[in-house]
Amino acid sequence: MRQNKEKLSNQAVQSYKIKSQLIRKLRTRFATYGYEQVHTPAFEDYDTYASIQKTVNKDEMIKVIDRSGKVLVLRPDGTIPITRLTALDREINGSEQRLFYIFNVYGEQNSNGTNKESTQAGVELFGNKRPEADAEVIALAVHTLKEIGFDNFKLEVGHAGFFKELVDQANLAENELQQLQELIQSKNLAEMEPFLKQLQIRDELQEALYAIPLLYGNPQAVLEETKAIIKNERMQEVLNNLKDVIEVLTDYDLLEHLTLNLGLINNMHYYTGVIFQGFVENIGKPVLMGGRYDQLAEQFGKAMPAIGFAYKVDVVLEALKQHQLIKDDNNPPLQIYYVPEERRNAFSAAKLLREQGYAVITKPFAKNAQQAGILFQSNGRVIVNGNEQQVETNEELLNLAELATGGV
């Protein structure tokens, strides 16, 4: 029983360490693009989300009531509270803001209603609506995927405005729109054709909607194919915007990782422009999702364009395990042993090594015990893994630590 508990404890420690390493990589990479970390409270006012239509599913939020009777929710997402935080900051008047977050979000997402906690790591770029901003955020998403260690991945890039314009012309009922979205997302062309024929819409509009799931693949080729279904000036503007973004991404030399997908229509009421999601090979769900949401800040009283994305950290960890990209660098701490008269010297050595990044544990010397590490003995000399050495300088001590551990 004790061995099982120790095994479970070691697994928990190792899992947390791996997750911490991943988060550290994300935090470092976000910062190199000029983003600064922010945090929001775990508990948010329910009204913050209830007043914003068609974003977070209200039924999936975990609600609590405080002593005053006010309804609170455990934070269900990162973008909304950070947008509110930025919009309500009076010192920000249209200036560009680069923020990132790494924290847990909560929701009752399982079929049995079990509370679910997950970690999100995301960036939000406010105050810039140029194609260069869209491309840079997408480039950051690609850069972090490479940094994490993935080679075989794709970012699917679409645009919320294109499909919106078509369905606005079609004037569909809510249930018809929902069914159409499901058919497009599943690329179910067999059922889509008879579904469109029974709608009371023009033939050319039917053909355009039917073409949406087929507009998928090489960005340049899809842009060319899309010209055939342009129906008005607004759709042409959307196509031009996509062209501009792809042109910038070409200069980032990222097209090998990109697929243009005009059938990408997730959360269409939320996004207003470019949208994208990242997939890793053999992982059936996206590891990140993002897009442009220029109208969200207006819900908090300020017009402020914005684009961002969020990693699902726990899904990324699953992908790392499946792709065997988790390195076993669980090196044990360096052990420093000492006899009583050398305790001060041992503590001084431990302090120096910790300042150099070593994990160090100090212990009194016990005879007849198997002790790997550095032993400070009474004659002023030290023993490193069984071999006696002379230590007179800090440099010599660091060399011995390198010998004892193989490096930090």
Q: Is 270 annotated as a binding residue?
A: yes
Contacts of 165 (CB under 8 A, 6+ apart): 231, 232, 234, 235, 238
| Residue 79 assigned ligand-binding role | yes
Contact in structure between 53 and 266 (CB atoms under 8 Å): no
User: CA-CA distance, 27 to 328, in Å (whole number)?
Assistant: 21
Find where tokens 């997302």 sit: 185
**Beta strands 258-261 and 153-159, pairing class:** parallel
44 marked ligand binding residue: no
Contact between residue 262 and residue 216 where contact means Cβ atoms under 8 Å apart: yes
Sign of torsion, CA 388 394 399 405?
positive
179 is in an annotated binding site: no
User: Is residue 77 a known part of a binding site?
Assistant: yes
Q: How far apart are CA 157 and CA 243, in angstroms?
A: 12
| Alpha carbon of residue 353 to chain centroid | 34
Around Cβ 318, how many Cβ atoms within 10 Å? Answer: 15
Cα 57 to chain centroid distance, Å, stands at 20
- Two tokens at 223? 């842009």
- DSSP output for 111-144: TT---EEEEEEEEEEES--SHHHHHHHHHHHHHH
Q: Is 120 marked as a binding-site residue?
A: yes
φ/ψ region of 369 (left if φ > 0, alpha if ψ in -120 to 50, else beta) reads beta
Cα-trace Rg, the chain: 28
Residue 357 annotated as binding? no
Among candidate residues 167, 176, 229, the one with its CA nearest the CA of residue 199:
176
Q: Strand 43-45: give its sheet, edge to edge.
A: 43-45, 71-74, 63-65
The binding site consists of 77-79, 120, 124, 270-271
Binding residues for L-histidine: 77-79, 120, 124, 270-271
